[in-house]
Amino acid sequence: MCVRYLGFFLLVWNPQVLHAQSAAQPCPAPSLNGGFLPPGQSAYNHEATLSYACHDGLKPAVKGWWGSSRCQNGNWSPKPQCIDEKACVPLTIPNGHFDASTDGWYGERDRIWVRCDEGYEHKDRDATPQCINGSWSSVPICEKSTESCGDPPKIPHAVILVKGYQEVFAVNSQLHYQCEYGYAAEGEDTKTITCISGTWTEGPTCTQSAAQPCPAPSLNGGFFSPGQSAYNHEATLSYACHDGLKPAVKGWWGTSRCQNGNWSPKPQCIDPNCGDYPTVPNGDVVVQVNGTSLKYQCNELYRLEGQESVACQSNGKWTEPPSCKAAFCVIDPNQTTMDDIRLSAVEYIKEGQRKHIPCIWIARTRLIRCTYGVMYSSVCCTSYDHRYIGCKSEGRIEN
């Protein structure tokens, strides 16, 4: 007789759980085809643990000859089930993943394709284990690629623009540094490094930049205190408006401060009948005519839709302002449906632009274009295929 018929059960049950979490739901006694449970309760408290065993020729759908399941707010997790003893339970692959079975287990002769995470590669090219007589033919190992890079260099007064910490970055990964406010990298405040053959390219040096003065601002419909051509950083300037207009701030006069080359808030005189001018997200006013007519311009990566100018009407309202719509596509490596590409950071593609995105296979890329905010992509091809033969289109891509 199989030792599993000896009725070896483990039942762990904390009677205080019901008091500590009164809102948690109990679980009804589970049903189990091809196996047996401890005798006799019709329900179990939240967090109760229940063990089970299976009949000859079957085994639990978890590791070991017996299984256990815990009551989680009305449901058993994992669900107690007995499967053919020649079936296999899922593997655990550090730094790798594969398509999960809807049943939670794999049948005799089933194969799985293990895909290594970015920056890792299959040891000994082992990627497709097979379920044979209840065991996997092998356990693939995903080890760090010799072409991958570790931690990027730490730069004083800089931060890396990336989502979350990671230990390994794939070859050709790019990271962007942002210098601290008041610091700059070679005339800019951002700098890109690239992983090449296991080594990061040289990072930026963020040096403290001198605060910039502000040129005397222009003001349609108003006037300043007389006469400087430039003002030092942190200087404050007052202004007033002509009859029929008012400052775009509270009060009959306005003030503005020089902030490293820019006036904040921007000195403006507006029509008092219409009040403050309309705000356009991702856009700004570029031309103002006597406080009654405004012209807008969108920020980079956005396109203007609607009339670019607004006017103050006799009813005290501004005409309908334009909107600034996104004119780019974005590929987020944590959300994209393209599981055959290698990206370590979010990639932006401008409207009408085409970009080659590296695939998991060496020397292959996807050619992706952005049209009205929608991405269209080829399959993974070599540079020769893209240029001379033509690469099959996969069509619209949902990110």
CATH number for 23: 2.10.70.10
Q: What does each C-alpha distance from 2 to 7, 34, 58, 62, 352 come to in angstroms?
A: 10, 14, 11, 19, 69
Of 273, 305, 326, which closes a domain?
326
Mean pLDDT calculated for residue range 161-187: 80
Of 30, 60, 84, which closes a domain?
84
pLDDT digits (tens, 9 = 90+) for 266-289: 888 877 777 777 888 888 876 666
Closest to 216 measured CA to CA, from 183, 249, 239, 246 = 239
pLDDT at residue 388, as a whole number = 59
Q: How far apart are CA 56 and CA 62, in angstroms?
A: 16
**DSSP type of residue 85:** T
Mean pLDDT calculated for residue range 139-161: 89
Q: pTM value?
A: 0.43
State what percent of residues in the chain have pLDDT above 70. 88
Residue in the block written with tokens 């509270």: 250
Question: Is residue 321 located within the same domain as residue 333?
Answer: no
Question: Is residue 263 located within the same domain as residue 361?
Answer: no
Q: For the chain, give the mean pLDDT.
A: 82
Q: Three-state SS across 336-354?
A: CCCCCECCCCCEEEECCCE
Residue 101 banded pLDDT, cuts 50, 70, 90: confident
Question: Is residue 289 located within the same domain as residue 334?
Answer: no
Q: What's the N-to-C CA distance of the chain in angstroms?
A: 56
Question: Is residue 60 located within the same domain as residue 13?
Answer: yes
Q: How far apart are CA 393 and CA 150, in angstroms?
A: 35
pLDDT digits (tens, 9 = 90+) for 294-306: 788 888 778 888 8
Residue 156 pLDDT > 80: yes
For the chain, the domain total comes to 4
Domain that holds residue 187: 158-208
pLDDT at residue 243, as a whole number = 85
Report yes or no on 357 lying in a domain.
Answer: yes
Question: Is residue 195 located within the same domain as residue 249?
Answer: no
Residue 120 pLDDT > 50: yes
Report yes or no on 340 lying in a domain.
Answer: yes
Q: How far apart are CA 257 and CA 263, in angstroms?
A: 5
- Type of residue found at 12: V
Query: H or E segment at 384?
Result: helix 383-384
Question: Is residue 271 located within the same domain as residue 259?
Answer: yes
Question: Is residue 218 located within the same domain as residue 316?
Answer: yes
pLDDT at residue 250, as a whole number = 77
pLDDT at residue 130, as a whole number = 94
Residue 235 pLDDT > 60: yes
pLDDT digits (tens, 9 = 90+) for 352-392: 888 888 888 877 888 888 887 888 888 888 876 776 556 77
Report yes or no on 108 lying in a domain.
Answer: no
DSSP per-residue string spanning 12-52: B--TTHHHHTTTSPPEEPPP-TTEE--S--SEE-TT-EEEE
